[in-house]
Amino acid sequence: MDDLELLDWRERVARLYLSDADLTGFRAARDELFRAHPQSPLPAAARAGFAGLPYYPPDPAAVVEAPLRPASGTESIDTGGPDGVIRYRRVAVARTPWGPLTLWWIEAYGGGLFLPVRDATCGDGSYGGGRYLTDTVKGTFGRGLTLLAGDRVRLDANYLYNPSCAYDDRWACPLAPPENRVDVALRVGERAYHA
């Protein structure tokens, strides 16, 4: 039944990301999912006393619009887990105030858009391997990244979140490749988790 629980987790995540909740309500609902759902990335022992994920304060300046330019090429990333090597195709590069960020398409069944980011807070305030702004395979679309007309994108870094492997070693996660590393400290979104 683990597969059905995982399906339920992904459906709840997608519904949350597509909901009308403001950032405060979104964070509260996400915390509840992490605390109560059997497919939470938190270890079961950490859920009973879980008081919520640590977040930086919201910052309206973390919402930006950026032009996109086409990109090409692929990258293969070994997750180190049962998923093995995953291929990513460059879709576009967003020219953000923080630096250029490549949008990736996951080349697997169904595919999906993926935007990992590693900034100067990683390892010093946020998860060392980087955070995600969107991973549509996991249903996290509609908040951190929104496509706009005219080859533009709206990014809301208040929705940066840790990959599952930040909570428990049982998860394997693709991390931000070098071209998605920026020198600026994005003190927004989710902070490093410590059980």
Residue 45 lies in a domain: no
Query: Domain count of the chain?
Result: 1
| pLDDT 10s digits, 115-134 | 999 999 999 999 999 999 99
Residue 29: inside a domain, yes or no?
no
**For residues 15 and 26, is the Cβ–Cβ distance under 8 A?**
no
Instruction: State the pTM of this model.
Output: 0.93
Tokens 């979140």 map to which residue? 161
- DSSP conformation class of 142: S
Nearest to 65 by CA among 148, 133, 135, 134: 148
Residue 160 lies in a domain: yes
- Is the model's pLDDT at 193 over the cut of 80? yes
pLDDT tier at 68, thresholds 50, 70, 90: very high
Helix (H), strand (E) at residue 117: strand 112-117
Q: Is residue 167 a part of any domain in this protein?
A: yes
Q: Is residue 186 part of a domain?
A: no
Gap between the Cα atoms of 70 and 51, Å rounded: 42
For 101, the domain range is 56-180
Residues 34, 9 contacting (CB under 8 angstroms): no
Residue pLDDT, tens place only, 85-123: 889 999 999 999 999 999 999 998 888 999 999 999 999
